[in-house]
Amino acid sequence: MKTPHPSPRAPERPTESGESTRPVRNELKPSAPAVTRQQQAANLAQAAPLRGPYVEQGTYPSPADVRAICAMQDLAVRNYAVTQSYSDLSNAVGQLLGTENANWSTFATWASKQAGVSIRGEDMPKFFTDVLKGLDGVTRPLSKVDDLLRKLGLPALPLADIGSAGNDALKNVSLVISEGNTRVFEEVGQELSRFVTTFQGDTQYDAAKVAQYLSEFPADKPVLEEAFGHYAQALFETDPNKKAELMLLANNKVGQHEQRRLQPQIEQALNAPMKETFHGILMQAIEANINALLFPANLAGKAALKSGVVDAALRPVVETMAGAFRRFATEHMMKLAVPGSALKLGNELPPPPGMESTLFPPHLRSIENPELRKLLAAFDKSPDSLKGTGAEDWSRLDQRMNYIIDLFRSRQSDPALFDPPFGLRGARWPPPGGTGEPGRSTSPPEFHHPGDATFSGFNRY
415-426 tens-digit pLDDT: 999 999 987 665
Which one is predicted more confidently, 382 or 43?
382
Range scoring the smallest mean pLDDT among 1-10, 75-84, 109-118, 211-220: 1-10
Burial status of residue 442 (CB atoms within 10 A of its CB: 0-12, 13-18, 19 or more): middle
- Residue of 157 and 316 predicted with greater confidence: 316
Contact 92, 231 (CB under 8 A): no
Tens-place pLDDT, residues 293-331: 888 888 998 998 899 988 898 888 888 877 777 666 666
pLDDT given for residue 7 in this prediction: 46
More confident residue, 461 or 273: 273
Return the pLDDT at 234: 97
- The stretch 225-241 carries a mean pLDDT of 97
What average pLDDT score do residues 246-255 get? 97
Query: How much of the chain exceeds pLDDT 90, in percent?
Result: 44
CA 131, CA 109: separation in Å to the nearest integer?
Answer: 30
Residue 421: CB partners within 8 Å, gap ≥ 6?
83, 84, 87, 109, 110, 113
Q: How would residue 438 be classed by pLDDT, with cut points 50, 70 and 90?
A: very low
Instruction: Give me the pLDDT at residue 457, please.
Output: 38
| ∠ CA 59-74-72, rounded to 5° | 50
User: Cα(450)–Cα(267) distance, rounded to whole angstroms?
Assistant: 31
Region label for 211, one of left (φ > 0), alpha (ψ between -120 and 50) or beta (otherwise): alpha
Asked whether the predicted pLDDT for residue 362 surpasses 90, the reply is yes
> Shortest CA distance to 84 belongs to which of 446, 444, 422?
422
Local confidence band at 454 (pLDDT 50, 70, 90 cut-offs): very low
Name residues whose C-beta falls within 8 Å of residue 26's C-beta, 6 or more positions apart in sequence.
none
Q: What percent of the chain has pLDDT over 70?
A: 70
The band of 461, judged by pLDDT with boundaries at 50, 70 and 90, is very low
Q: Which of 68-77, 139-148, 213-222, 445-454 has the lowest mean pLDDT?
A: 445-454
Answer whether 0.85 is exceeded by the pTM.
no
CB 410 within 8 A of CB 360: yes
Q: Tens of pLDDT along 184-198?
A: 999 999 999 999 999
How far is it, in rounded angstroms, from Cα 59 to Cα 62? 9
* pLDDT at residue 455, as a whole number: 41
- Amino acid letter, 274: M
Mean pLDDT score, 258-263: 88
Confidence of residue 137 (pLDDT cuts 50, 70, 90): low
| Confidence band, pLDDT 50/70/90 cuts, at residue 169 | low
Stronger pLDDT, 115 or 4, i.e. the higher one: 115
Contacts of 194 (CB under 8 A, 6+ apart): 63, 213, 216
Q: What is the pLDDT of residues 12-29, one digit of tens each?
A: 444 444 444 444 444 444
Q: What is the mean pLDDT of the chain?
A: 80
**Per-residue pLDDT tens digits for 326-357:** 666 666 667 788 898 889 888 899 999 999 99
Per-residue pLDDT of 201-217, as tens digits, reads 999 999 999 999 999 99
Contacts of 272-276 with CB under 8 Å at 24 or more apart are 272/169, 272/172, 272/173, 272/176, 272/329, 274/169, 274/321, 274/322, 274/325, 274/326, 275/318, 275/319, 275/322
